[in-house]
Structure 1
Amino acid sequence: MDKKRRNVIRSLAIAPALLASQQLIASGKTDQTPGARLQYSVNAYSFNSLLRSGEMTFFDLMEFAADIGLNAVDLTGYYFPSYPDTPPTSDLFLLKRKALELGLNISWTGVRNNFVNPDPALRVADRELIRNWLTVSSKLGASIMRIFDGKHSHDGFTRDEVKNWLVEEYKICAKYAEETGVILGLQNHNEFLLQSDEVIDILKRVESEWFGLILDIGSLNAGNTYDEIEKLAPYASYWFIKEHVSPKGIKTPVDMKKIATIIKNQGYQGYISFESLSEGDPKQIVSSMFTAFKEEYEKL
């Protein structure tokens, strides 16, 4: 068969596929539409007791994530033996290689900081902790690193003064984030910033493309949780889905349909991470949450 004839046959074979693709694009029914590129992860805190006791390692966590079809893992800093000091680079590269072998990303890391603290020296120390762990995150290939606002007695200082501390520290840390190429993500954690409007105000005042929001659906306990989640949804760089929400402080099983609808309507593209805080088998709980969310999302 000559080359010209082979090319004609090949063009005839692919023509129907090209036509179908063009029709899908024209109709808007394509996986490239907003919201279609969700990726799924699991937060290491789901296995808190197992990781702290040594019954489970990050390598075991990765195996679990791969087994149930997740795309990534969140490796919280607390579970590195060296924490709060940074681990050896060789240890980080072993984790990175394991993730590659399993077809996973290490999408996230996180530290515990407290900027709601009247002592400037302690805020500076936490700032340096963040700076050091941003470097760890970069070496691991993580896209985002979680930080908190904090929880501390601030007697003698108004809430507005504390918010000024937060903005000042976050602006400095956002510059560190830009230097390392890792986005810094504020997790709303029901500590000092209790309402969505307060979180949005801080995000706008920091005003950095290297400072984003890790939207924790389980930590919006003031008022109607789902309304609060919907307010924050446009600002989310990353999502934490938990098995419970607490509207007006009342612990209630999460309505996966409502969460999936908010995410779908927002056109969010990125990571959804599952985190279990309940007693019981965390593998089973995380697997069930993952399945339930996907089923509801795919119905929409």
Structure 2
Amino acid sequence: MKLSLDVIGYGGYFTAPGEKLGLEEAIKRAAKTGYDAACIYAHRPLGFPMDLDTERRKKIVDLYQELELEMGAVVCCTNFMQGNHVLLYPQEKEIMYVKECIKMAKEMGSGIVRILSAFYGYFQNPHASTGYGFPAFESRSKRVSRAEDWLEAWHEVRSGLTEVAQYAEEQGILLALQTHPEILGNNDEALEILNEVNVPSLKIGLDLPLLESQDPDFIRNTVHKMKDHMVYSHTISLAKNQTIGGAPYSWEEVAPGSEKDPMQWEVFIQALKEINYEGLLSAEICSPVVVKGHKLGSLKTIDERYAESLEYMKGLLLKHDCYTGQKDISHSERK
């Protein structure tokens, strides 16, 4: 396994105003920190395909070679649901966007494009919007009570995934589908939609904090289920904040191995080794970065968190004799 940095943390989405970098500078930070690879977040202000013409793409590939970095995944945030009006066509735009990302990945030498099935909500209550057993996508009605709106959304997403998977198959690119609410509420549902799409290019991106449980046996069983499907993984940790009495009221992203990290990383790494996973573990920072004094963090904060994640994850991989990268942190800092 090798360690990658997903440049999303440098895009300014979750940091203080003005604290952001362009794609090339973010890639340089990945090399300086000591990562084996850098993954391109395919959105503005970083790696949106329409902003990267052929000449700029070539220069970026040259930059990777100069920095002795591997090309990681192209990472997309997508929603394949159709719109709520007959004259809105968001799914068509998503399909066009993902196809452009696939083209860019092929041109730049990346073999993987990460996608999401839908991004309607974010870790919402299972009975969101008064759905009766399934998430609701309409106002309360007989359709909602029969889950017809949820089934309709599932089939919309499946159709969109099938189209981009078929295109990826033609281009020789793998799609890493990340389990993410609302359509894919758990990892079994991710496997179900893979079977229904039934296109070899559609694979799984399995992230430890998005497993339904941190029970060691559950983690091992889930990883083994993904043996023939897993091609990508993000290393991100989520910690719950609790009120008096222990009721969870919020969550926050923390660095793997940090004091508040509740994730069973060692169990996860051991299970990945058991299934002979040889892909990337990609560090990600994709939620609000709040620091001491209750303010949004800076680029320095992002640097520190990526470095902390690298140190911890590399230590685990070395401990279990499954690190296949060649990066030496001290050497990278001297470059």
TM-score (norm 1): 0.76
Task: State the shift of 1:172 in Å.
Answer: 1.2
Q: Match for 1:114: what amino acid?
A: N
In the alignment, is the contact (CA less than 8 A) between 2:180 and 2:186 conserved in 1? no
CA–CA distance in structure 1, aligned partners of residues 183 and 219 of structure 2: 16
Q: Of the candidates 172, 188, 204, which is equivalent to residue 213 of structure 1? A: 204
In the alignment, is the contact (CA less than 8 A) between 1:116 and 1:154 conserved in 2? no
The answer as to 2:206 corresponding to 1:236 is no
Query: Residues 84 and 69 of structure 1: is their aligned pair in 2 closer, same or farther, counting only changes over 3 Å?
Result: closer
Unmatched runs of 5 consecutive residues or more in structure 2: 121-135, 242-246, 252-259, 291-296, 321-335
TM-score (norm 2): 0.69
Deviation per CA, 1:14-54: give whole Å up to 9, x if none.
Answer: xxxxxxxxxxxxxxxxxxxxxxxx12111111223179947
Task: State the shift of 1:257 in Å.
Answer: 1.6
Q: Of the candidates 260, 270, 275, which is equivalent to residue 266 of structure 1? A: 275
CA–CA distance in structure 2, aligned partners of residues 130 and 52 of structure 1: 29
Backbone CA RMSD of aligned residues: 2.9
CA–CA distance in structure 1, aligned partners of residues 53 and 206 of structure 2: 30
CA–CA distance in structure 2, aligned partners of residues 195 and 149 of structure 1: 12
Query: Residues 61 and 195 of structure 1: is their aligned pair in 2 closer, same or farther, counting only changes over 3 Å?
Result: same
CA–CA distance in structure 2, aligned partners of residues 218 and 230 of structure 1: 15
Deviation per CA, 1:53-76: give whole Å up to 9, x if none.
Answer: 474222222222222321111111
Task: State the shift of 1:225 in Å.
Answer: 6.8
Q: Of the candidates 169, 178, 194, which is equivalent to residue 178 of structure 1? A: 169
- Residue 35 of structure 2 corresponds to which residue in structure 1? 70
Task: State the shift of 1:219 in Å.
Answer: 3.0
Q: How many residues align?
A: 262
- Residue 305 of structure 2 corresponds to which residue in structure 1? 285
CA–CA distance in structure 2, aligned partners of residues 198 and 228 of structure 1: 16
Q: Match for 2:57: what amino acid?
A: L
- Residue 47 of structure 1 corresponds to which residue in structure 2? 10
CA–CA distance in structure 1, aligned partners of residues 182 and 213 of structure 2: 16
Structure with the higher helix share, 1 or 2: 1
Percent identity over the alignment is 18
Task: State the shift of 1:80 in Å.
Answer: 4.6
CA–CA distance in structure 1, aligned partners of residues 195 and 278 of structure 2: 21
Task: State the shift of 1:205 in Å.
Answer: 1.6
CA–CA distance in structure 2, aligned partners of residues 81 and 58 of structure 1: 5
The answer as to 2:166 corresponding to 1:203 is no
- Residue 35 of structure 1 corresponds to which residue in structure 2? none
Residue 78 of structure 1 aligns to a residue whose secondary structure is coil
Q: Match for 2:8: what amino acid?
A: Y
CA–CA distance in structure 1, aligned partners of residues 215 and 96 of structure 2: 34
Residue 79 of structure 1 aligns to a residue whose secondary structure is coil
CA–CA distance in structure 1, aligned partners of residues 193 and 215 of structure 2: 19
Q: Which has the larger radius of gyration?
A: 1
Residue 50 of structure 2 aligns to a residue whose secondary structure is coil
- Residue 125 of structure 1 corresponds to which residue in structure 2? 93
CA–CA distance in structure 2, aligned partners of residues 242 and 201 of structure 1: 25
Query: Residues 81 and 287 of structure 1: is their aligned pair in 2 closer, same or farther, counting only changes over 3 Å?
Result: closer
5 Å matches for 1:1-300?
38-49=1-12, 53=18, 55-80=20-45, 83=48, 85-118=50-83, 121-152=89-120, 154-155=137-138, 156=143, 157-220=148-211, 222-224=212-214, 227=218, 230-232=221-223, 233-234=226-227, 235-244=229-238, 251=251, 253=261, 254-277=263-286, 278-279=289-290, 280=297, 281-300=301-320
